[in-house]
Amino acid sequence: MRFDGKTIWITGASSGIGRAVALRLSKENTHLILSDINETGLKEVASDCEKNNCTTLVVPMDLSDEKSVVAAAQSVLNKNIKIDGLYQFAGISQRSLVSETPLFIDRKIFEINFFGAIALTKAILPDMIKNGGGQLAVTSSLVGKFGFPQRSSYSATKHALHGFFESLRAENKQNNIKVSIFIPGRVRTNISVNAITKDGTVHGQMDAGQDGGITPEKAAQIIFNGLKKEKKEILVGGKELIMVHIRRFLPGLYYYLSSRIKN
């Protein structure tokens, strides 16, 4: 993937990894479409990106609302903008036990993390195919590779994204559609702070492990390098990434550790 002169749409762009990736790509002579529910934050990021002589288009969007997603996509397509890449970072995490979590919380997490992401993908994919191809990338998680306490539906949404986007990749090889899946471990963002609890309230605190994670800027550089190489899976994090290999090659050890590891 060559970024020079390309138009890239980034969701979750107002903060965290999405913001850091937007700023990194703004140095590559790109045109950026920036989306998030936080319009004020988006305008601040757009202003920072434009300092690097990058052009931006701010498109606020609520991933929990299908109509908002479709309207956002249509507003961009109506401008006859050729989208070369769609990189999705927006999402919500969870801190609650299965036995205590009502179904409406599970549905809310799926609505944002899974259905919101695939709604936007479906809205722009036909146009991307018509224009000769493009690059799709979506954010999973380490717990998209295995289950983890207090992340049941969050983990399930990430597993679902793997299934959906791997299928999409297989269907569209002939259409020149490249698909990458980000797999972050511990990155120092507010995802744990903003995670929802069993009653839908905000968790309100950063996990100790995450507080010691890599910076969003380091994560953005890893992601940038992976996207440039069109890697199918991009692992992002530190020593905690070893859990992916433990789960694959030493499942017994994973089962033991997963019931003991704290946040």
Any idea which residues carry the catalytic annotation? 154
- Token pair listed for 222: 């890893």
State the burial class of residue 171 (Cβ atoms within 10 Å of its Cβ: 0-12, 13-18, 19+): exposed
| Phi, psi (rounded to 5 degrees) for 40 | -60, -45
Say how far apart CA 185 and CA 213 lie, in whole Å.
Answer: 8
Give the DSSP per-residue string, 80-107: T----EEEE-----B---GGG--HHHHH
Contact 161, 119 (CB under 8 A): no
Cα–Cα separations (whole angstroms), residue 75 to 14, 67, 136, 137: 19, 12, 19, 21
Percent helix, percent strand, percent coil in the chain, to nearest 5: 50, 15, 35
